Structure 1
Amino acid sequence: MTHIDSSAVQIPTRVEGKFKASVVCWFLGLGGLVAWNSMLTIQDYYYELFPRYHPSRVLTLVYQPFAFGTMVVLAYYEATTDTRRRILYGYIIFFLSTLGLILIDLGTLGRGGIGDYIGICVFVAAFGVADACVQGGMVGDLSFMHPDFVQSFFAGLAASGALTSGLRLVTKAVFDKSDHGLRKGVILFLSLSTLFEFVCIFLYAYVFGKLPIVKHFRKKAALEGSKTVTSDLAAAGIHTEYNEKITDAKHERLSNKELLLENRDHAFNLWFIYALTLSIFPGFLYENTGEHQLGSWYAVVLVACYNVWDLIGRYVPLVESIRLESRKGLIVACVSRILLIPCFYFTAKYGDQGWMIMLVSILGLTNGYLTVCVLTVAPRGYTAPEQNALGNLLVVFLLGGIFAGVVLDWLWLINNASF
């Protein structure tokens, strides 16, 4: 068996270009969820168009099976999947689908109707496919690079929520008093999201792969037997030397089943984090929190609070002294969030809006913090192909948790007279 020593490609002690790569990862994370977060943030508009169709719950339920199902297939074939093509396809689908939402609204003049609703559902399903392509591909790719890249990517995912919430508040305020103001704000809002997706296509295709530090990590991954980086190396101008070594290298690696058994606690943690979060956000916030002083602004403010604190939570692990790395500690922290369920129930029934805003902030903070802690700890100690495979597997459980949470969210409607 031909063995190629991966130490032949050394990452410099002073990691050159790390900050620039982290910034690009942040923007790629932003593009990875900005389209879907746009859908979540304009639900007040869709409730006006489709008041009887439970859009916050139905659209989320449409999105998740496509995201989860596509991710399962891609994770199974991750070892031979062209990561570059997969990620670019994802961003292109996001771009075209967001543009499609604008065209549907313009074509129907914002009148609503079942045909309009079905068209929106089709594009939401496309968002799910794109999410699996981008999120799974990027997490797998970044798992064998510097841990800060994973953190930056997930901070970008959260930033997409904070940014869309901020933009939604601005557009709602600007157009609130004008004729068809809500619709005008939504069209402007979706147009900006479409622009963000186009920028991400450019960043991944022409910038990220050519950064020196990214090329170093991909060369190292190639020498450890990874076939998923071949296309990226070729696009960066590295053809013959490493491609031949990829072909010759035959490294023993753990199977997906073995990786999953060794990391079943991390897989469970991610599943549970998102199952609990999505059982509350966003459906419960739109339909089960009652009427308060903020009126029509209440749900928009709650979503904004969640997104801002989710973003803050993803930066907290950068402080080494408060970063949670103990596997037992992570399990305890994740499972303890179950206490939020009765807190939300009783606050919605008896509490005022201040308490609800505080609870939503805690939900976002813990969601972001624990996600980053799990995904930066899990890949340690594995070779690049194993890290890529593990990253994909963990995203499967993350999306599976979201899917479970979306289904569980419907339980809040039991005994709800409006259902």
Structure 2
Amino acid sequence: MAILAYNEAKINTRKRNVAGYILFATSTLMLMVVDLATSGGGGIGPFIGICAIVAAFGVEDAHSFFAGLAASGALTSALRLITKAAFDKSKDGPRKGVMLFLGISTFLEFLCVLLYAYLFPKLPIVKYYRSKAASEGSKTVSADLAAAGIQTLANQELKHLRGLLSSLIVRAKQASAKLKSGFLLAADAAKPPGRLSSKQLIFQNIDYAVDLYLIYVLTLSIFPGFVFENTGKHKLGNKWYPLVLIAMYNVLDLISRYIPRVPCLKLESRNGLLLAVLSRFLLIPAFYFTAKYGDQGWMIFLVSFLGLTNGYLTVCVLTIAQEGPEANALGNLLVLFLLGGIFSGVALDWLWLIGKNKAFWSAKPACN
């Protein structure tokens, strides 16, 4: 991801996105292959294989279309609840439910590959923004524009320069001074707009990068690991309760990503965003004490609030930070920090086991 973010101006956007879709869809399919090959038997080999496959899934979120991806999270939770309910009381029900879920997901992901490759480039709004990016100096959208039947900016400039040079050659017989001036004008017209380097972009937007990093450090240190391990006693049981909590998180995450569309509710202050991000760390003791002393109602409220603040702050940061010709480059760099936050949050997730009576280092094997 660091290499892709640093070299984003040189990488073909269409090839990168199609390759990412195919990798994600293939990885989901491989999860089913591993399970079928081992007949659901498990073991250290299949476990390592699943970990390697999951590593290819990559980041959950990217750029300012977060609302759509949050919707996919809510739909995923709904699909998981449906597949679990369908096989809840049947023999080997959990495995069958997961296999059905993965099968449907794989089909939808391969469908997305086809839609992105053939339908998406022809949408009017997509054509508009890709043409705008090309006019601002982006060289990575030429393949996308070609797929939509739009001539790239480079070809347009080439034709423009040819006509301009032909006109200048004719006028050269009249005045050499005008010829020289015309060549200078042609060079200025052909020069693409200046863009800041990746280092300059990071230094100018370091607070936004830190905001995204801290948002996902906190979120992933709590969700979903803590939801499955430390939710306390409840009436829904160990099988359904975590799924309900995850569904509540995803639904509130989805809703919150539309809140910034209301101008009076959008947080635009850089200091205000940083303060809001730091204040979310108060959720750590809140979750800890709720798991020990609170009931399931308070836990559902906290998980919902976690999703609400995660989606809202993420969209505020990304939509405010990404402006001007460098929007795409800055977006890629911010997503790199987001990935760093996800990695750090997942790495810190095991700290919730400290203080438990049956931590992983003292737990006995299930077979005993």
TM-score normalised to structure 1 length: 0.75
1:114 is displaced (CA, Å) by: 1.4
> Which residue, out of 97, 111, 118, partners 2:41?
111
Contact 1:223 1:249 in 2 (8 A): no
Q: CA-to-partner distance for each residue in 1:155-210, whole Å, 9 max, x for gaps?
A: 12112221111111111112111111111111110111112211211221112211
Find the counterpart in structure 2 of residue 371 from structure 1. 314
Distance in 2 separating the partners of 1:378 and 1:243: 31
- Once the two structures are superposed, the pairs formed by residues 41-56 of structure 1 within 5 Å of their partners are none
- Counterpart of 1:297 in structure 2 is 240
- Whole-angstrom distance in 2 between the partners of 1:213 and 1:311: 23
Query: CA offsets per residue over residues 54-110 of structure 1, 9 Å max, x none?
Result: xxxxxxxxxxxxxxxxx2110010011101100000000111111111111122221
Q: Distance in 2 between matches of 1:290 and 1:243?
A: 64
Counterpart of 1:86 in structure 2 is 16
Cα deviation, residue 244, structure 1: 5.3
The runs of 5 or more residues in structure 1 that have no matched partner are 1-70, 140-149
Instruction: Tell me how far apart the structure 1 counterparts of residues 102 and 50 of structure 2 sit (CA, whole Å).
Output: 13
Aligned pairs for 1:344-355 (under 5 A) are: 344-355=287-298
Quote the offset at 1:250 in angstroms: 3.0
Give the partner amino acid of 2:96: K
* Matching residue's letter, 2:80: R
Instruction: Pick the aligned partner of 2:90 from 175, 178, 192.
Output: 178
Larger radius of gyration: 2
Deviations 1:232-289 (CA, angstroms, capped at 9, x unpaired): 1111112465445399433221111111111111111111111110010011111122
Provide the rounded CA distance (Å) in 2 between the counterparts of 1:351 and 1:272.
26
Cα deviation code 1:348-398 (max 9, x no counterpart): 111111110000000000100111111111112x22xx1111010110111
- For CA contacts below 8 A with separation 6 or more, give which structure has more relative contact order: 1
Determine the structure 2 residue equivalent to 1:59: none
Corresponding position: 1:95 with 2:7: no
Contact 1:223 1:242 in 2 (8 A): no
How many corresponding residue pairs?
328
The one-letter amino acid of 2:40's match is G
Q: Which structure 2 residues correspond to residues 154-233 of structure 1 after superposition, within 5 A?
A: 154-233=66-145
Contact 1:223/1:245, CA 8 A, preserved across alignment: no
Hey, what does 1:308 align to over in structure 2? 251
Instruction: Using the TM superposition, give the Cα deviation of residue 315 of structure 1 relative to its aligned residue in structure 2, in angstroms.
Output: 1.3
> Is the aligned partner of 1:276 residue 2:276?
no
Distance 2:292 2:157 in 1: 63
What percentage of residue pairs aligned between the two structures are identical? 65
Q: Of 304, 311, 329, which residue of structure 2 is paired with 1:389? A: 329
Q: Residue 325 of structure 1: which of 256, 268, 277 is its match?
A: 268
* Deviation per residue, 1:8-29 (Å, 9 max, x gap): xxxxxxxxxxxxxxxxxxxxxx
Matched residue, 1:418: 359
Amino acid across the alignment from 2:314? T
**Residues 208-247 of structure 1: per-residue CA shift (max 9 Å, x gap):** 2112232222222222211111111111112465445399
SS at match of 2:137: coil
CA contact (8 A) 2:77 2:247 kept: yes
Q: State the AA in 2 paired with 1:216.
A: Y
Matched to 1:352, the amino acid is: D
- C-alpha separation between the residues in 2 aligned to 1:99 and 1:411? 32
Contact 1:230 1:243 in 2 (8 A): no
Quote the residue 1:286 is aligned against.
Answer: 228
SS of the counterpart of 2:42? coil
**Does 2:345 align with 1:405?**
yes
**CA 1:350/1:220 → structure 2, altered by over 3 Å: closer, same or farther?**
same
Query: 1-side partners of 2:139 and 2:42: how far apart?
Result: 47
SS class of match (2:258): helix
Q: Following superposition, which runs of at least 4 residues in structure 1 exceed 4 angstroms of deviation?
A: none
How many Å separate the matches in 2 of 1:170 and 1:337? Answer: 32
Equivalent residue letter for 1:394:
L
Q: Which residue of 196, 201, 209 corresponds with 1:254?
A: 196
Q: Which runs of 5+ in 2 are unaligned?
A: 162-189, 361-368
